[in-house]
Amino acid sequence: MQISLEKIDTCDVRINVECSGIDVKKGYNKAYRKLFKQMKPAGFRKDGPVPKQLVKQLAGQELINEYATTEVLDLVYPAILKQEDIKAYRSGKVESSKIDENQETCSFTAVIPLDPVIELANYAENKDESRFEVKAVTDEDINKMADAIRESARTYKDLTTEALEKGDYAQLELENESGEKTSLNVLVGESAKYLDSEIIGLTPEAGKSAEISFPAEFKKEEWANKTLKVNIKVLNAARVIIPELSDEFVQNLKNQQHLQHFSSETVKEFLDKVRQHLEVVEKNNATDVYATKVLDDILAASSISIPEVLWKEVFDRRMKDIESMLSYQKQTFQQYLEEMKETEESYKANLKEEAVTEVKRALLVREIAKKEGLDVTQQSLYLAVQDIAMENQVSTQAVADRMSNPEMQAEVYYRAIYNTVMEFLRDKQLGK
């Protein structure tokens, strides 16, 4: 086996490899065996000799070559790392490969990521208490959150005889003088104000005729920007019912997964829990703002080199999120770029910069935790689970139930260690 190395940067190395005929032959033998077991041709024992010609007829040379390449790479990769004394951070990424069964040759080029290199800057104490301010929780804040919790527990009452009011939801049927109809879902007083004067007070049983000036953006293009006489009929209507703040209401919060932690016996106890929650939120926000500034200062003074694969993972994940969002909104990437007033090149360059910074910040957090001997506690893990639950509006138990998922484990652990390091940096800077 012949190997040549090319150092791309501090954390990436390119290898060019010419495999030995023996390794190529072994790779093809394993490929034939694997395909044979998958195909299970009648009349052959799965542990018997592999009928290579039959496998070749059924699978085709292209698929055999694909399987053989994978087998050869799996076979020689560990030997390459050992022979060249390469300490790989992750598996390498194959850039190109070429294989020939008759010639018993295989060559490939791959990029191998190396361990990140972190030179952590000194972070001497800098007592600047003016930069750390926790916003005081007011009665107004508490009442706003209590109202938001009540609104999140809203129910809907179907209207049959009651007249429409502001805040009601209604499905309307509009019919012009030519008999053309269109339906419209509205939130009375909000989403179709050009109709409000005609539909407020209207009951589902009744209809009315009125002249309506339709806006330019009206969904039925033929009616847009025109004043037409139409018959209005209420097909369905519902009223939002927001529960009153009472002992019964706060007791029943135990039945709502995303609000269980606010469940209380009395309104007073509930409002105390809301205050405590907001105080924690404000403290966390202040800690995050303050410590993030400190962390960014340390990051700017430190030297961190990372392999391409790390920032690419973040970059690709964000691109997929954007694609999903645009698909949902039925918008093309080009339309999105025009809306953002960016070119594809500048947008992706900015996204790469953000991905690199995110990875470096995460590595810096772990390095500080390692240097200072910081570790997560059960309390910090629980708080991380709570944060995720609140962000996704699910119960803490729902998040805990997903802890068997490696991605969720990693997310919870990172949040916990991140918060631990943030608090450490805050206290260190404040001289605590």
Give pLDDT tens digits for 373-384. Answer: 998 888 888 888
Residue range 129-143+257-429 in CATH 1.10.357.10: no
DSSP 131: G
What is 2-114's CATH superfamily? Trigger factor ribosome-binding domain (3.30.70.1050)
Q: What's the rounded Cα separation, in Å, for the pair 381 and 374?
A: 13
User: Span 135-159, mean pLDDT?
Assistant: 93
DSSP 257: G
Domain boundaries, the chain: 2-114, 129-143+257-429, 155-241
Angle between helices 267-301 and 344-372 (to 10 degrees): 100
Say if CB 123 and CB 296 are below 8 A apart. no
Q: Which of 258-267, 385-394, 399-408 has the lowest mean pLDDT?
A: 385-394
Q: Residue 50: what pLDDT? A: 83
Q: Residue 426: what pLDDT? A: 76
User: Span 45-55, mean pLDDT?
Assistant: 82
Instruction: Give the residue from 257, 252, 242, 172 showing the smallest Cα distance to 206.
Output: 172
What percent of the chain stands above pLDDT 70? 97
Angle between helices 406-429 and 344-372 (to 10 degrees): 70
User: Span 60-70, mean pLDDT?
Assistant: 95
User: Span 289-297, mean pLDDT?
Assistant: 82
Tell me the DSSP string of 400-419: HTTTTSHHHHHHHHHHHHHH
Which token pair is 168?
């009601």
For β-strands 303-305 and 227-241, DSSP reports them as: unpaired
Confidence of residue 122 (pLDDT cuts 50, 70, 90): confident
Q: Residue 133: what pLDDT? A: 81
DSSP 114: B
Q: What's the rounded Cα separation, in Å, for the pair 23 and 265?
A: 72
More confident residue, 164 or 152: 164
Mean pLDDT for all residues in the chain: 90
Q: Residue 430: what pLDDT? A: 67
pTM recorded for the entire structure: 0.64
Please state which CATH class domain 155-241 belongs to.
Answer: alpha beta
Say if CB 400 and CB 385 are below 8 A apart. yes
Say if CB 364 and CB 356 are below 8 A apart. no
pLDDT per position as a tens digit, 169-222: 999 999 999 999 999 999 999 988 999 999 999 988 788 999 999 999 898 999
Confidence of residue 226 (pLDDT cuts 50, 70, 90): very high
| Sheet with 12-18, edge to edge strand ranges | 2-9, 12-18, 105-113, 93-100
User: Span 322-344, mean pLDDT?
Assistant: 91
Is 425's pLDDT higher than 90?
no
Q: Residue 225: what pLDDT? A: 93
Residue with tokens 């107004």: 140
Q: What's the rounded Cα separation, in Å, for the pair 370 and 390?
A: 29
DSSP H helices, 330-405, are 333-340, 344-372, 378-392, 396-400
CA distances from 92 to 36, 169, 222, 295, 362 (A): 28, 56, 59, 31, 22
Q: Residue 37: what pLDDT? A: 87
129-143+257-429 and 155-241 in the same fold: no
Q: Residue 23: what pLDDT? A: 96
